[in-house]
Structure 1
Amino acid sequence: MTRPRGVDLFDVDRLRLVEEPPFRLSPEDRRAMDAAWAAAVHANPTLFDGPVAGCTAVEREEPRVLVLNWVRATYRYYVLRRVPGAGVRLPSLFVAVAQPSTDGRLLVGRMAPWTTSPGRWQLPGGSVEPPPEGELLDQDVLRRHAARELAEETGIDLPDDRLTLWQVTRGENGSVGVLFRAPPRPAPWLYERFGILTSAERALGREPELDRIVLAGAATDLTGRQVPYLAPVLDRHGRSGAPGP
């Protein structure tokens, strides 16, 4: 399988996260960012300018140890990547969970129409939020965040210590994803948990963030748009030796 252009995968056993000082934007970049954000919100009113942790650098410290430099920001900083000539282009930092079925496929979800990426297939996960001022962002915090995202998006609730750090992805725009792997579960159970979650959400008048899940063995099993990292991750999972029934 050909890896999508610009997608890197790093096998890792440990992460070290280093916080950097917040960005100082020039007046021109600030005006451009605010204008681009206002336009984005006008096009999609569901956007909100909450806190995020952006990833500014990835370095290998040891053969299977990565250092991630990160900075406190908000979602509006990401729109600067679409502003020509902007002096700041902040890559995102996100977590995701590779949830295998017992037959070796991985659970992937399709983003609902109301989200920022409608119809896009990806692993369950989301952007990393920074901890309160004075507290550390570390591997354990990322693991807890990943477990919470898995539960909120799929209904699969498990202790965060059952998640194992697996790999780190880096996209063409520099965005970095920390992937954890969950224990294999039977396919019918995975679909059942998702069905219970979506039924409960709709009963409360809310639309789920994922409108569909499937178990995929390769990117060719999916129809429609995918996040760039998904194809190489599915390929890596298949080659690493999927668990048997």
Structure 2
Amino acid sequence: MTRAGHVELLDAPRIRLVETAAPELSPDHRSAMDRRWAQAVRANPALFDGPVAALTGLQRDGRDGLVLSWARATYRYRALRGVPDAPVCCSLFVSVVQPSGDGRLMVGRMAASTAAPGRWQLPGGTVEPPEEGAELDVDGLRRHAARELSEETGSDTPAEALTLWLTTRGAGGGVGVMFLAPPCPDRELRERYARLVSTETGEGREPEFDRIALIRPPAGLDALEGPHVDYLEPVLRHYADTEV
């Protein structure tokens, strides 16, 4: 485990996911959560109260493993973070490190219609729970990561081509499971994204990324205009240091 600022990098080749019950809320906590969520939606109508697999715990499993506990919840549970003494469900998300042929990495800027407009990040997103009664495992995370990569960048990389690479934990407790994609020529990466944008806009939708960039880690981060997600700098530095 290494620390980079307030983000922990957890090198764990084994991950086990365990479903738990969602935290019980008192009437006061639920009322406060609903009120804060309504305020957040008024401020950003793009917010959507869809199902999520919320992180409820993280433990080490020997020297090279992690156990991630999760519960079925919805996005509004994130509003509990600002409620005193309330149980907190942290974020569980997947990301994909996509190298170009010359060793640069692809990042994307979130569009105005998303929950984090203008923020640079790796392709990926919040983990969704499987169907009721089904288990969530690393293969499920891998499929979700491949789907996010396709939806945000136009990639046709299959899930089985993604390799489990790194896990991050932010200051707020959110955990990201990162997968490494095979290198792809930069021209092909840009052409895939251009085709995606053309299709999405042609059907009246705004792409989740309004821009992509290929940057050389970690120095290329300075060339990005606007904020970036907290894990981005330490992950880019780790990639450069380990020469994946």
Does structure 2 conserve the Cα–Cα contact (< 8 Å) formed by 1:54 and 1:72?
yes
Greater displacement, 233-242 / 103-112: 233-242
What TM-score do the two structures reach when normalised by structure 1? 0.95
Does structure 2 conserve the Cα–Cα contact (< 8 Å) formed by 1:131 and 1:137?
yes
1:4 positional shift? 5.2
Q: Which residue of the partner structure matches residue 230 of structure 1?
A: 232
Q: Distance in 1 between matches of 2:85 and 2:101?
A: 47
**Structure 2: which 5+ residue stretches go unaligned?**
none
Which consecutive aligned stretches of 4+ in structure 1 deviate over 4 angstroms post-superposition? none
CA displacement 1:51-96 (0-9 Å, x = unmatched): 101112111112221110111110000011123x141121110001
CA displacement 1:211-237 (0-9 Å, x = unmatched): 000011222232210100000000011
Amino acid paired to 1:55: L
Percent sequence identity over aligned pairs: 56
1:144 positional shift? 0.2
Q: Distance in 2 between matches of 1:226 and 1:182?
A: 21
CA displacement 1:167-222 (0-9 Å, x = unmatched): 00000000000000000011111011000000110001111010000011222232
Does structure 2 conserve the Cα–Cα contact (< 8 Å) formed by 1:201 and 1:207?
yes
Q: Distance in 2 between matches of 1:97 and 1:72?
A: 23
Q: Distance in 2 between matches of 1:60 and 1:141?
A: 21
1:10 and 2:10 aligned: yes
Q: Distance in 1 between matches of 2:230 and 2:118?
A: 14
State the aligned residue count.
Answer: 240
Amino acid paired to 2:213: V
Give RMSD over aligned pairs. 1.4
Does structure 2 conserve the Cα–Cα contact (< 8 Å) formed by 1:12 and 1:165?
no
Greater displacement, 141-150 / 38-47: 38-47
Q: Distance in 2 between matches of 1:6 and 1:89?
A: 19
Give the alignment of 1:155-170 within 5 angstroms: 155-170=154-169
Q: Which residue of the partner structure matches residue 51 of structure 2?
A: 51
**Structure 1: which 5+ residue stretches go unaligned?**
none
Amino acid paired to 1:126: G
Amino acid paired to 1:188: R
